[in-house]
Structure 1
Amino acid sequence: MADLDAPEITLCRTIAGMLHAAELGIYQATGAYSKTEHGIIIDGDLPTTIDNCTVIIPETPLADGSSDMLYRVQLLTRIKGRLPVVRARAHRIFELFDHREYTPNILGISWTEEYSRLYFTADTQGRGMVAQNFQFRGRRQ
């Protein structure tokens, strides 16, 4: 697990809060999620006991010149249901972040975009999944 004070973890917490505010899941910094909740987890393992969840994984930030940084984050979203349900959830997340200025408004972020997306067919328990990768252009902290 990464340093809890690292800028990329701060970014993940902010993303989790935005997903929670947009009713795309429930984020709690501590405690367990019930089987019926769509839990949002930061920098953890994809749980086997929860059908609906989003795991936010920080990637290593990249320096972009002397004062800018490129922060990258992967969102793994698993949902009980067929691929159209998964696609709809991915599109809602896309609309929240892609091609947005100053979103989220931390770390001097000026531009956000989704740079890749990969769908996975449902597993044997009927849970489909999508992996979305976002990059956030910000300032060095």
Structure 2
Amino acid sequence: MVDPISPNVTLRRALAQYIHDQGMGVYKPTAPYVSGERGIYTTGNMPTVAGSDNALVLRSLASVSTGRADMLYRVQIESRIKGSGIDAENLAAGLNLILDQQQNTPPGLHIAWCSLYSYLPLSADSSGRNGGFQTFSFMGRRGL
């Protein structure tokens, strides 16, 4: 017997594909990323392999029921980029541009509205990578 796929997993995968389609990163559900690609990961864990200095990690936060059939899904995007704090801020601004205050994003999941909930910038780590945490809220139907 195969377990059903969680609505949160479905949303993260569709969101990763949407971010890929918008040119903000590369989403490969099964293939490994090569050095220089901004990999989009949906497993919730920041990669530690060599060459993963530029990455986006999608993780689900607790969903909230807003009615019998409606849900507020929350996805946190952790970003990391080799470069300055301005580079990290520009990456966050690019994600805001394609996600914040958007309808039907990602397409096909009956998401009525997406909005930025919070942003926390991160200063450089010992490898010179800056980043941040952006949390987006997705108003949609229960079960997607």
State the TM-score bracket (shorter-chain normalisation): over 0.9
User: Any runs of at least 4 consecutive aligned residues in structure 1 with deviations exceeding 6 A, and if so which?
Assistant: none
8 Å contact from structure 1 (residues 117, 133) kept in 2: yes
TM-score by length of 1: 0.92
Instruction: Please give the alpha-carbon distance, in whole angstroms, between the structure 1 residues aligned to 2:109 and 2:34.
Output: 32
8 Å contact from structure 1 (residues 7, 107) kept in 2: no
CA deviations 1:64-89 (Å, max 9, x no partner) are 11110001000001000000001111
Task: After TM superposition, give the deviation of residue 24 of structure 1 in Å.
Answer: 1.0
Name the SS of the counterpart of 2:120 in structure 1: strand
Percent identity reads 37
Name structure 1 gaps, 5 residues minimum: none
| Partner in structure 1 of residue 34 of structure 2 | 34
Q: What are the residue-to-residue correspondences of 1:71-82 with 2, within 5 Å?
A: 71-82=73-84
Task: Determine if the alignment matches structure 1 residue 58 to structure 2 residue 60.
Answer: yes
CA deviations 1:24-54 (Å, max 9, x no partner) are 1110011211222111100231112310100
Number of residue pairs matched by the alignment: 139
Instruction: Please give the alpha-carbon distance, in whole angstroms, between the structure 2 residues aligned to 1:12 and 1:81.
Output: 26
| Bigger Cα displacement from structure 2, 63-72 vs 97-106 | 97-106
Instruction: Please give the alpha-carbon distance, in whole angstroms, between the structure 2 residues aligned to 1:111 and 1:125.
Output: 37
Task: Determine if the alignment matches structure 1 residue 7 to structure 2 residue 44.
Answer: no
Name structure 2 gaps, 5 residues minimum: none
Give the aligned CA root-mean-square deviation in angstroms: 1.4
Distance 1:106 1:8, change over 3 A: farther
